A and B are shown apart, each in its own frame.
Chain A
Amino acid sequence: MSADPLLHVSGLDVSFETRQGLVRAVDGLSLTLARGEVLGIVGESGSGKSVAMRSLLALAPGPGARLSGSVRFDGVELLAATERELGRVRGARIALVPQDAMSALDPVMRVGKQITEQIRTHEDCSREEARGRALALLERVGIPRPREAFRAYPHELSGGMRQRALIAMAVSCGPEVLIADEPTAALDVTIEAQVLELLRDIGERLGTAVILVTHDIAVVAGLADRLAVMYAGRIVEEGPADRVLSDPQHPYTWGLLGSAPCDRNGEPRALTAIPGAPPSLVHPPEGCHFRPRCSHEFEACSATPRLEERLVDAHGHADRCWLSPEEKHARRLPSERAELGPERTPA
């Protein structure tokens, strides 16, 4: 069996025109997602994560944006689909949990209505039925007084409650893929843990595949089956989560791990910042996009390998750096040795 993956993205490009010039927000993105799998996508702000996730729903970041490449979902090419076909996928089979829970809800529509609206768009059910389902969903995502939340306007709920309501909305039609775009960015740390727990729980109970997007690698460390690291519109490293965390390959991943404030056991440690800033996506550096900030740059970096060409192991762990694993081990600086991998048991 092991037929097609549920979602298969290949060579996805997203670009749009700005005053400064053509921005290539997503550059040749490829990834696959199996049923029930949790994929973490990590990258700093502006790395194209959010734009990439929206294009999985064939949603362009603006009127002038161009989407090209391929997004195949369950055998259907979404980038070539009609609006009608997309309407049957969006919200029903692939759902999005947006980033900013305050502005992602319509301020002048009651929260309950915004959920039933989605249910009634995709399923033929009565108003009362939809209401009952929405109330059950609100309860399930841990909202203490579902009836009040149902009748409330978004501003009457706290940030955590709004995010829960958005999750309830996203799972309302039993999607096969749940894309959570920084679902905890606006939340307190305590609430963050609850929301992540909720997402994991939903993924497990409904068998939903989850794409969890975040800038905080610690957020996905405990949740994701696989991890993709995004930098300047490209995936620079991808693999099983524990492999990427315990044996990171790309110098950017080293830096990312070094900038997490705690190790996996929650012990605080010294922070190391990655020098410099992410490149402009209008005039990105030729070859490897991380080159200008990388302390290991050499001649070969004026071109960049494709992910598939640089497999590190048999588990599909790959990265887009020309250095061989041995060279990396030799060259990696002490300050780049932070890891979030599972604690090594002392011999």
Chain B
Amino acid sequence: MSASTNSVPNSSTGSKKSLKAFSDDIWKNKTAKINAELFTLTYGSIVSQLCTDYERDFVKVNNQLFLMGYNIGMRLIEDFLARTALPRCESLAKTSEVVSKCAFKIFLNVTPQVGNWSSSQDAFSLFLDENPLSDFVELPMDAAKELWYSNILCGVLKGALEMVQMDCDVFFTSDVLKGDQTTELRVKLNRVLKDEIPAGED
């Protein structure tokens, strides 16, 4: 535990490299792992069951996946904070880095590229070159039009970021499964929430 807190990267120069090394260390030494293909197949079974339940109304499937992810994200952030002990990010740029290099790394063992910043620096994109949810997945014609297969990721990010007081819109703008060149996940910061009692808990 002390080793992990010592190696928490500070904001000085070279923090990019140390964040990567820091995450690599957590992934290699402090993480129980399972076969990625099992994960892919299980997620596939869930999505296909939803498509059956909603009679291939993919808008509803997208929404259900998002809500499912949202519920997961709200709890996953706790595990993330406990594991990394990272301090609050001082900027959205820092957040984007932590999400891609640290969160995606220690949970899914991938590191999406960050890019496509908006001019006002309040929105960025994550480019998923690899996506363990959709390995070997091919969508049927009807699904390729409307289904955002990995939409659960949006929900997870939304839920997790909200728990650290960041109200964001998270959505896919393109997906290789739909025939696009890239898989792009957009994160747009609406506002930073004040520390307050969660809704419904008063």
A binds B: no
B residues with CB within 8 A of A: none
